[in-house]
Structure 1
């Protein structure tokens, strides 16, 4: 799939298609379902439930390891990236990790997405006495909406420290497989559910044509939970009504993550999208490494180290490359989706908890010249047939607005498809000139006749445009 530029003798790519490795992930599926059913996760208890598990495909002389990282209130942080969080574990280049992720929209339907799931219940626990995860976002702890202010909304699993990673290196993350997280509620045994919220941060919010003109609508989807990855179907929808959280704060709009929705206050419409089937393409909307510029960065706007760039292609079989900005890289993943269209127009995808099997490979700075990773300062995706370059309205908003009192508000106010397209073009031109040794004129012609540009998302504050480069155009 990718140019391999590690040291001689490494075995990083030897198991990507190994049936035994897929068998290990199948075992992880069974373990997850057993734990959600109330039984303890297999393996000796490690830090916050992290366990090391053998790979049956491991051969003599190979020294990579496999870890299982559950999602619970001890393994996730809510709404931010940070270079200073104590990592859950430290891995070597070539190691694997099966990582659980949970959507921050689970409390929109507690019965379907939290009840009976110990990990999810621990994350979302909130009563009048307190909540297990108090900080939600990188805002002040005394914010009137709640600790962290919802200035960053995603439930993030991590971070994972990559031994040997230093600024200037590139971290390769291979997504080998994904699986849906099944409902823990016996009433919905064998089913998985996801949430789509047409929310106040969506592109449509100030452009509605039917009454009431200002509304947020939550649609609950049922998603295949057996690993077949086929389709999703709408179950019902409802309009958001003012919700009072366990601390007594009223939320007239969706403005703070994890607020439990009181279903006695809403009217469910089951006559919705009858007969429509949405192809399921599971992926991780938020994936990346920690930025160097600040101690704590909101999970909402994406940036040069990745984060919430919401490209539906970041699923099974895809590889992501991230420029390392801090020691250890500090990898984090979250915002799992069952499906999403380019642009993520209404503000969310089908937000549906997922587990992923990942492999981490470190590329040292000295080895980058002459490869596709040279001069990489943005998240690069690779699939079997494509390379995907990501442009943003503000490529590194944390640096650009370092002197601003609120860099997130600054980038949101400047979001523009024009600037995102310009950035995507500049990066694509640089990619062809620096990694393929083309002249500028050659690069521009090739871009115009063969590269597809698309709108990644227009809802994360820092809007995105991606360029899809088909690998078939390269000289054989």
Structure 2
């Protein structure tokens, strides 16, 4: 089904009108936003941010607003690539709303796909055609393991990339998350609701440590979220145990080994009345945001690295700022893996995976204008209103460190110890460069004032985050 962009479609006018209405509604909401219209962007820049406003390479006049919908033509499934053609270009300081679609919508097509032209175009899969053929960084012919094009070596649906004019290697792109909203279910049977899936899967930390039979097993739990904003929690609707699924091409998937396989609910047993009286606080965020790496042409979307990617930190939501080192011209920014809620560690393998729409401001900082901790920044740095969050990985740049077979070896060599060591080193450097502490001062402060947490243990390149509160430095000017 077209998304209002295929004139050959019999219902082109209907789809086109819906697309225009949706875009217009989003633009009106954006323009009315108190954050933007009320000078919130200026307040943001003055709130203790690491990047000095003078370093921002913005064009004169008002910033431009852009909209990037998600459909089969605007997404890339399961990989980052410096070879991708940008979906649009923008100037530093511009705003952009980007739709992000979950790669787990196939777990319940009725609730998460049906009736939504953009998602239907992405998930289109018949015996004759796939809306998005390549799913992963593997071979395009899909003969290596017989799973399908891309082999599922990378799973996330990423919208983009977006080209930032003037961005070159060595620069920093600052990404401000202005707003995050759930994508409403388009099936009229579920008005006012959004849905997501949590898969306790074979790559989860728990998988080989189960108590009850059958062992092993994979279980998907479907959650419901209210889109009106009146409820800030999710509730479980039902769960089901994965049984072998046959995709439209006739390939049998005994486990969850290829993204977007539509689950046949006539052969699974739905268990309702689960997690009764449990409300899960929602904190919408993006599991994957990042730029294109330089080391390889096609890079698996699962392991995070210096360019960002699949960090899976629930703090990357509305009001947060990410700083990314630029590796290729234009940066090539992409967004995906949207979540309604997740705990630190993402222990069972996934969060509540659901589709979201985010509004961002992208700001370019040129290399020769950088100072403090941003000078030479070679990892994704997260800033919130109250905290700085540094991300350590088992291998800070696994593509470079592990060589030609890095995209296979990373899954075998990660450890929490290595990730903690990296987080420690990054925090030490941060405190010494941005706050002017000696090494001895930094080490003492880390032990008594920095919280180290497990970001995730399921993404190949395991992660530890280090959090330091800004109010520790109430008497010190920021760098």
> TM-score, normalised on structure 1?
0.88
> How far apart, CA to CA, are the structure 1 residues paired with 2:16 and 2:108?
20
> 1:115 maps to which residue?
114
1:395 aligns with 2:396: yes
Which residue number in structure 2 is paired with residue 421 of structure 1?
A: 420
> 1:158 corresponds to which residue?
160
CA shift for structure 1 position 227: 3.3
User: How far off its partner does 1:415 sit?
Assistant: 1.0
Q: Which residue of 2 aligns with 1:270?
A: 272
Write out per-residue CA displacement over residues 226-263 of structure 1, whole angstroms, 9 at most, x where no aligned residue. 23460000000000000000000000000000001000
Q: Determine the structure 2 residue equivalent to 1:188.
A: 190
Question: 1: CA distance between counterparts of 2:252 and 2:335?
Answer: 30
From 227, 230, 242, the counterpart of 1:225:
227
> What is the CA distance between 1:211 and its match in structure 2?
0.3
Aligned to 1:384: 385
Aligned length: 435
Going from structure 1 to structure 2, the CA distance change for 1:234 and 1:172 (only over 3 Å counts) comes to same
Answer yes or no: is the 8 Å Cα contact 1:322–1:379 preserved in 2: yes
Gaps in structure 2 of 5+ consecutive residues: 1-12, 40-59
1:174–1:438 Cα change, 3 Å: same
Q: Distance in 1 between matches of 2:451 and 2:111?
A: 39
RMSD: 2.2
The match for 2:440 is: 441
Q: Quick one: distance in 1 between partners of 2:30 and 2:215?
A: 55
| CA distance 1:67–1:229, shift in 2 (3 Å) | farther
Query: C-alpha offsets along residues 308-345 of structure 1, whole Å, 9 cap, x if unaligned?
Result: 01000000111111011110000000000000000000
TM-score, normalised with respect to structure 2: 0.88
DSSP 3-state at the match of 2:399: helix
Q: Deviations over 1:275-331 (max 9, x none)?
A: 100000000000010101111100000000100010000001111110111100000
| Unpaired stretches in structure 1, ≥5 consecutive residues | 1-34
Which residue does the alignment assign to 1:41?
19
Q: Secondary structure at the match of 1:339?
A: coil
SS of residue paired to 2:373 = coil
Q: How does 1:230-241 map to 2 (within 5 A)?
A: 230-241=232-243
Pairing 1:367–2:366 present? no
Partner of 2:287: 285
Aligned mates of 2:242, 2:80 — CA distance in 1 = 29
3-state SS, counterpart of residue 403 of structure 2:
coil
Q: Counterpart in 1 of 2:71?
A: 72
Equivalent in the alignment of 1:319: 321
With over 3 angstroms needed to count, the CA separation of the structure-2 counterparts of 1:94 and 1:52, relative to structure 1, is farther
Are the structure 2 counterparts of residues 318 and 411 from structure 1 closer, same or farther at C-alpha, using a change threshold of 3 Å? same
- Displacement of 1:36: 11
| Deviation >3 Å, runs of 4+ | 35-39, 50-59
Contact 2:170 2:376 in 1 (8 A): no
| Contact 1:87 1:158 (8 Å CA) reproduced | yes
Alpha-carbon deviations, 1:333-376, whole Å to 9, x = none? 0000000000000000000100001000011111112x331221
Aligned residue number for residue 408 of structure 1: 407
Which deviates further from its counterpart, 133-142 or 219-228? Answer: 219-228
